[in-house]
Amino acid sequence: MNDNEKTDDAQAFVLRINYGDSDLVAEALAQNQLIIGWSEAEGLLDEQLSWEAFREIIGKTYYPDEKTLRKAGLATGNLWRFIREMKEGDLVMVPYGADFYVAKVSGPATYDPLKINEDTAYRRNVDWLNDKRPIPRAVARSALISRMKTQGTSVGASDLLAEIKECVKIADSGSKPSFQSDLEKRLIDDALEEIRDGRMENYGFERLIQAVLVSLGAVETRIIPRQWDKGADIVATFSVAGAFKLDVAVQAKHYQPDPPVGKDVVEQLINGIEAESAALGMVVTSGTISEEASTAAEQFFRENGIRIELVDGEQLAKLIVEHGIKVIKPVASVE
């Protein structure tokens, strides 16, 4: 990205173009457009619509039998960001498998009624950066990887704008990895190997995750004894604005890459979220995450509004390298 492309007031977003059984990324790249669903909800381009009126159209169109506005509100948030919040010059990341693309918004949202049946009527013109080439997720830092795993269709990422630009720069054909990036990659590879194959005593993986959570800002953590396990191996408490506490239920799985974490692990964690009245869930593994597990987590979010973060071994290793691990004071056995 050169100096002429600097946009100091630019925003950033993550947009999932692959939703349901659809793979629309190739079409989006070919037509230089971003695409989002909910096409039957017509009239949303009207700038006079308030949030409530916007939500009412979506609710009546897609969720007429729902007793609450939660699902309509989630859908409204996704479309509102796409139609109202995205501006010309903003950057949008589009995850795609092990890679992602980055686009720069070049025009307002549009509506093509001929695309209603394909559920691709709402669109935006963009310029695809990096010559439309995919960027490996491996070049992204852990926070950006986590944001790309959003269980909604769109999410804000302006706080990570500098990191997105860094990824584009690294991926650019004229750029070479720096000493720092080379060193970080070696450290991440070594950390991942040690996590998977190093000496790990009983509860060792749970204690490692506990230390990482403390490094990320958890004010309290406790490992659940296995005889009391209702689906969460660890419960971590984070302080929000110094006044509110948010509990996170964590499933810890010390797996090798194959087989990947399955749907059953997410289902176990859902039990733990409910038992601990947690506001957020996490599956943390030294291995990999299956598509079935990702689908189960997304379905739980859509039905209940509670996110489940899925952290695989590579992302865990990045968290350790980027944030370190704080020493946890010895405690009595959790057995």
State the fold for domain 3-171: ph1033 like fold (3.10.590)
Q: How many angstroms separate the CA atoms of 51 and 37, rounded?
A: 18
Q: How much is the pLDDT for 3?
A: 42
Rounded to whole angstroms, the maximal C-alpha distance in the chain is: 65
Q: How many angstroms separate the CA atoms of 16 and 36, rounded?
A: 8
Burial class (CB in 10 A: 0-12, 13-18, 19+), 323: middle
pTM above 0.85, yes or no: no
Structure tokens at 158: 């302006």
One pLDDT digit (tens) per residue for the chain, 335 residues? 444 444 468 999 999 997 656 679 999 999 999 999 999 999 999 999 999 999 999 999 999 999 899 999 999 999 999 999 999 999 999 999 889 999 999 999 999 999 999 999 999 999 999 999 999 998 899 999 999 988 889 999 999 999 999 999 888 765 566 667 778 888 999 999 999 988 888 789 999 999 999 999 999 999 998 878 788 999 999 998 778 899 999 999 999 989 999 999 999 999 999 999 999 999 999 999 999 999 999 999 988 889 999 999 999 999 999 888 765 554 444 55
Q: How much is the pLDDT for 126?
A: 98
What residues contact residue 14 under an 8 Å CB cut-off, 6+ apart? 92, 93, 94, 95, 147, 148, 150, 154, 155, 157
CA distances from 221 to 13, 218, 289, 309 (A): 32, 7, 24, 17
Identical fold at 3-171 and 197-323? no
Residue 221 is given by DSSP the state E
Q: How many angstroms separate the CA atoms of 274 and 226, rounded?
A: 17
CATH class given for the domain over 197-323: alpha beta
Helix/strand/coil for 186:
helix
SS3 content of the chain, % helix, strand, coil (to 5): 40, 20, 35
Q: How many CB atoms lie within 10 A of CB 290?
A: 17
Structure tokens at 233: 């191996």
Q: How much is the pLDDT for 177?
A: 62
Burial pattern 73-92, b for ≥16 Cβ within 10 A else e, equals: bbbbbbbbbbbeebeeebbb
Domain ranges of the chain: 3-171, 197-323
Beta pairing, strands 12-15 & 91-96:
parallel
Helix (H) or strand (E) holding 80: helix 70-80
